[in-house]
Amino acid sequence: MNTCALETLSDTLFGILYETLLLNRKPSTYGATLLKQQVSKSVTDNEPLRFLLPAFPCKSISPEKCLSHRLDMAEWIAVKKIVSTIRTIEALYEPGVEFIIFSDFHTFSKYISVEPTRYYDYRKDLEAIVREFNCEGALHVKSLSDYEDFATYADDEQIEVLRTRYGDGAYENTLASMIATDSDTHKKYTALKKFMRDDQKLLIEGLSKTQRNNRVAEIARGMMIQGVALDRFLCKVFPLHIRLSIHHHPDDSAKHTVQFFDRGTFKTPWHNCMTFVASTGKYRAEKLRLAALREADSHSVIAPVYFDNRQWLLLDLPVSRPNAKEALKHITFSLRKSNCGLLIESADQGLDVSVFDNTAISHLLNEFGILIFRGFRPFADIDSLESWYSQRGDFLKWSFGATHIVKAEREGDSYSSSVTSEEALPFHWDMVSPPPYMGIDQSTHPYHTYTPKEFLLYCKSNETLEGGLSTLIDCTMAPLTLHGKTRKALRETTLSYRTRFSYFGGVERTYPLLMEAPGTKKEVLRWWQIWDEENHPGSVQFNYSRISQSSTYEDMTALELDLTEIATQSANHFTVEFKTGDITLINNHTMLHGRTAFKGHRELWRIQLQPEHRAKPQ
């Protein structure tokens, strides 16, 4: 690669870091210039971009800040942001990224009052998230105990070993006078005292005022001394890594500030919880006590969402009508995956699903992909279902009408289509293969003009003897589990699909494997699983795929195996067994769905919404 190409690549990678992960700095400042030099050196040497982030020690001891001592959605979102940056760089830069999260728990363990068992639970959860994103090759979690100087010491000894071996004696001896005379040191000391007074509030509230002040002062001085020791250790072990920080540093600092959440806010996952505001579709990083105060002062309900047997995040739900606030308090929320599959359960079977604000439903569906309302008042007939769902938009009209009754139904000795049989269905999205009579011409009708944004499945009854699970793929998660090079290759690959006409199909349709979901910045997987005579003999309806365009793939069989492996990874795939009365909304742009074979009676009513910018038939 010539000098000009190297400079262009360096500039591109430099821009990605500020666009996706770091706080922007003025180009002429020392910090920005240093980062550019660090990136350029790695590119010139054809070495991975190496980053070091001291962070993720453990959850705060304060019950007023976090949902529990376990990792939750706050950390998941933060790690997702790191992974997203890594994947973007991998797609452009062959050597890729080596990113180290260095847990500083043992650095400050004496002062934060958290038991080591909580740290190990937290670290285990953090490593599990890295595995969930399939990013172990680039993203590593480390701590003092992973290095020779500390490996033989107990948890409570490592803090003193760090101070003894790497501490700055001169700094420690002069710290008191520096606090008194140096404005920057005094400012840092005062801010740290204030922060730790809040963090340790419940532990020190029984002390006298003087004792509280002395304890907080001791903590602040101790943490400043330990911070210097940690810096010296990290400089020795990672001298060439790009040093990141979760603290706000000035433009002339050699440490580059990471922003996990909204621009301009410097909040850490381990001192906050995440609230999804359903009225706006945005997350809010905040202390738990502030979330409770918001509920008391506003027309909304704050409800916990559970995942993996613990509180995972909070929902801020707008109250849509009088008396709805009390009703919403008796609904439970849980996720099937870290960020997908929201189950909404009512203990009152007389409660109408219209208790939920329509805008809130849209934002929840956009974020979590699928909403399952369970235990709500059932719909007596199709007219009442259509009356409620029509509030969300116009219906897609098929030759048989808007509502498709999906149940096993023979016509003579056979089934008319795979959908109305008892057999399994391949992964797909709705309207992947519209029938000819709809007049959809892909040369003039873009994907977003004829593909429903969402659809409804109402489980009228489910009396299956076996099987009949709905199989689901989170298509926003799937690209993040891929190495950037693989993602780039799939992004540049288009497949053509065909099937005979039943009530759908009849014309070959072509789509890229990865695309941006309409109305979002989310990259999603679009894939119709092959269902042919070789792999599914005896099926009612077969569908076939071919590679239409790709600079990487030539063998459709091999590519299909890769796609199947990607889609069915545990991070991306889950199943749902619908119960009678379930009202399920599925985001058609961000999910794929299928079905396992079944025996017995299973009846679903399906309605799809017209796209907002619908295609006019040709």
Q: What is the CATH number of the domain that holds 117?
A: 3.40.50
Residue 141 lies in a domain: yes
pLDDT tens per residue across span 91-130? 999 999 999 999 999 999 999 999 999 999 999 999 999 9
Phi, psi of 198 (to 5 degrees): -70, -40
DSSP 66-89: -S-SS--HHHHHHHHHHHHHHHHH
- Predicted confidence at residue 298, as pLDDT, reads 75
If asked whether residues 388 and 363 sit together in one domain, one would say no
Helix %, strand %, coil % for the chain, to 5? 35, 25, 40
Query: What does the H/E/C string look like for 414-463?
Result: EECCCCCCCCCEEEECCCCCCCHHHCCCCCCCCHHHCCCCEEEEEEEEEE
Do residue 460 and residue 476 come from a single domain? Answer: yes
State whether 409 and 347 are in the same domain.
no
- Give first-to-last CA distance, the chain, whole Å: 49
In this prediction, residue 410 carries a pLDDT of 78
| Residue showing tokens 């030099």 | 37
Whole-number pLDDT of residue 618: 61
pTM of the model: 0.96
The verdict on residue 202 lying in a domain is no
- Residue pair 79/268 in contact by the 8 Å Cβ criterion: no
DSSP, collapsed to helix, strand or coil, labels residue 353 as helix
| pLDDT tens digits along 313-340 | 999 999 978 788 888 888 999 999 999 9
pLDDT average, residue stretch 449-462: 97
- Reading the block at residue 42, the tokens are 């790695």
Domain end position, chosen among 257, 288, 305: 257
In a domain, 249, yes or no: yes
Number of H helices, E strands in the chain: 17, 27
The yes-or-no verdict on residue 414 having pLDDT over 90 is no
Provide the domain limits for residue 402: 382-608
298 & 429 share domain: no
Co-location of 244 and 318 in the same domain: no
d(CA 183, CA 100): 33
pLDDT at 299: 82
For 517-542, write each residue's pLDDT tens digit: 998 889 999 999 999 999 999 999 99
Kindly state whether residue 203 falls inside one of the protein's structural domains. no
Question: In this structure, are 428 and 313 located in the same domain?
Answer: no
CATH number at residue 583: 3.60.130.10
pLDDT at 71 over 90: yes
Q: Is there a single domain that holds both residue 484 and residue 521?
A: yes
- What is the model's pLDDT at position 607? 98
Mean pLDDT of 270-299: 91
Q: What is the pLDDT of residue 174?
A: 96
Specify whether 472 is located in the same domain as 599: yes
Q: What pLDDT shows up at residue 175?
A: 96
* Residue listed under structure tokens 């873009």: 446
Dihedral of alpha carbons 362, 368, 372, 376, sign: negative
Compute the average pLDDT of residues 248-254: 91
pLDDT digits (tens, 9 = 90+) for 458-474: 999 999 888 899 999 99
Please state the domain count of the chain: 3
Model confidence at 443, pLDDT cuts 50, 70, 90, reads very high
Residue 80: which of 336, 363, 337 has the closest Cα? Answer: 337
Integer CA distances (angstroms), 448 to 475, 511, 515, 589, 590, in order: 16, 12, 11, 9, 13
Mean pLDDT of the chain: 94
pLDDT at 589 over 80: yes
Same domain, 156 and 297: no
User: What is residue 617's predicted lDDT score, i.e. its pLDDT?
Assistant: 64
Four-residue CA torsion sign, 347, 66, 144, 142: positive
In a domain, 200, yes or no: no
Same domain (yes/no): 488, 407? yes
**Does residue 192 fall inside a structural domain?**
no
- Does residue 323 fall inside a structural domain? yes
Task: With respect to residue 368, please indicate whether it lies within any of the assigned structural domains.
Answer: yes
Same domain, residue pair 344 and 279: yes
CA distance 191 to 527: 52
- pLDDT (tens digit, 9 = 90+) per residue, 72-95? 999 999 999 999 999 999 999 999
Letter for the amino acid at 310?
A: R
Indicate if 405 and 294 belong to the same structural domain. Answer: no
Q: Per-residue pLDDT tens for 21-61?
A: 999 888 889 999 999 999 999 999 999 999 999 999 999 99
Q: Is the pLDDT score of 371 beyond 90?
A: yes
Residue after which a domain boundary falls, among 257, 284, 307: 257
- pLDDT score at 420: 86
